[in-house]
Amino acid sequence: MRRTSVEFPLAHYRDEFPRVCREKFGRSYNFARLEKRLEPVRTGQRWLVARDVLTIFDPDSTPLARYWPIPPEKGLDRALKQRLYLGPLEGSNEPRQLVEQLLAVFHNVGVVSIVLRFVHPQRFAIFSNPVAHLLLVHGATAVDAYLAFCEELRAWQQHFALASVAETELALWTYDQIVRHGEDAAQATQARSAFERDLWVQRRRAAQLLRPFLRHYGPLELARILLEEDANLAGKIAGEEYERLLIAAARKYYRRTPKVRKGTVLGLLEELARDGHISAAERVELQRIWEIRNKAVHAESCPTAEEVEVMIERIESICSRWD
């Protein structure tokens, strides 16, 4: 039966944040008040000072000192004597510059993310492990990963019509707490089901996982990577590349574009062998590869991992010269 896509109610979890905080920390927090207090830093009217950072970590303002180390006041005073302005944000490269400037002061990308979350909530969020796990973001460095995290949150913010990147992270953190730590099992199951069945959400997450592979590997490399996980899917990918290369051979040697079907393919292989473009032994191998391809693309049977591995090797060794 087809699973129906549902809308993940992310705004609902934003609204649940105060209740979850009361259950988890024994009180709620007014993050908007702290954002307002830091508005002069956001607009560039003054520079960041140690007291701003300590206020962010004050247990009366946030619960963040439970999870991240509080920077020592004396060290902050010395580090921030350089008059570090954090606003206003203008150029497209400025987010990276801000992160790198603050990383030189705090030496911890998590602490950097906390400061930026309250100074620039429209652009930055707390770099929390639970939310990063939900988004499935990655990066070559900690800075790259954090910037990708904020960019992905911006896409979620726009899709779910939330007020800011920071608010979006807050809502996802709340969802994660309800699912993983909530006492109401039925509520957790319902929440998880909505998350897993939202098509937009799962497309975003799948893209985060697949994009690096699709960008860096060709079809046969992808097929080899997927071989142990799903031999049939690997066979489909390799089979499509085989079809492309057969068409490339027909264009290269005979200046025609054939329809890829059984009789045409076998006839093309006969021609290639007759004209010396492949050997008789290679023709037999390639006919066998076509049979394995058929197993992968038709529902009647599935190829084994060993068959698909041979398929990939033969396509690489025999057909790659047709490109």
DSSP 243-274: HHHHHHHHHHHHS-----SHHHHHHHHHHHHH
Q: Look at residue 2 and tell me if it is in a domain.
A: no
Say how many domains are in the chain: 2
Lowest mean pLDDT among 25-29, 109-113, 212-216: 212-216
d(CA 110, CA 116): 10
Residues 59, 80, single domain; the answer is yes
Residues 275 and 150 in one domain: no
pLDDT over threshold 90, residue 321: yes
CA dist., res. 166 & res. 118, Å (int): 8
15 and 52 fall within a common domain? yes
pLDDT at 3 over 70: no
Residues 37 and 174 in one domain: yes
> In the prediction, which pLDDT does 1 show?
43
pLDDT of residue 82: 81
CA atoms within 13 A on the CB side of 289: 27
Residue type, 274: R
- Residues 274 and 152 occupy one common structural domain: no
Distance of alpha carbon 205 from alpha carbon 311, whole angstroms: 31
Which among 186, 212, 238 is the end of a domain? 212
Q: 76 falls in which pLDDT band (50, 70, 90)?
A: confident
pLDDT exceeds cutoff 60 at 293 = yes
Please check whether residue 254 lies inside any domain of the structure.
yes
Nearest CA among 11, 105, 9, 4 for reference residue 52: 105
In a domain, 297, yes or no: yes
Same-domain status, 106 and 205:
yes
Provide the token pair at 313: 């090797």
Distance CA 20, CA 4 (A): 29
Residue 291 has pLDDT above 50, yes or no: yes
Q: Are residues 204 and 243 in the same domain?
A: no
Region label for 161, one of left (φ > 0), alpha (ψ between -120 and 50) or beta (otherwise): left
Q: Are 192 and 184 in contact (CB under 8 A)?
A: no
Domain boundary among the residues 149, 181, 212 is at: 212
Q: Quote the mean pLDDT of the chain.
A: 93
Q: Which of 168, 185, 212 is the last residue of a domain?
A: 212
* Structural domain boundaries, residue 130: 10-212
Are 115 and 48 in contact, with CB atoms under 8 Å apart? yes
Residue 1 lies in a domain: no
> What percent of the chain is modeled with pLDDT above 90?
85
86 and 146 fall within a common domain: yes
Residue 158 scores a pLDDT above 60 = yes
Same-domain status, 35 and 70: yes
133 assigned to some structural domain:
yes
168: in domain:
yes
147 & 46 share domain: yes
Q: Is residue 5 part of a domain?
A: no
Over residues 77-100, mean pLDDT: 85
Burial class of residue 91 in the structure, from the number of CB atoms within 10 Å of its CB (0-12 exposed, 13-18 middle, 19+ buried): exposed
The per-residue pLDDT for 71 is 83
Let me know whether 250 and 204 are in one domain: no
Q: Which pLDDT tens digit goes with each residue over 197-246?
A: 999 999 999 999 999 899 999 999 999 999 999 999 999 999 999 999 99
Separation of alpha carbons 269 and 249, rounded Å = 10
Separation between Cα atoms, residue 93 and residue 274, nearest integer Å: 60
pLDDT of 93 above 70: no
pLDDT of residue 300: 83
* Domain co-membership, 197 together with 292: no
Q: What is the pLDDT of residue 70?
A: 86
Mean pLDDT for 162-182 is 97
Is residue 3 in some structural domain?
no
Spell out the SS3 assignment of 8-49: CCHHHHHHHHHHHHHHHHCCCCCHHHHHHHCHHHHCCCCCCC
pLDDT score, position 258: 83
Locate 300 and state its tokens.
């009647």
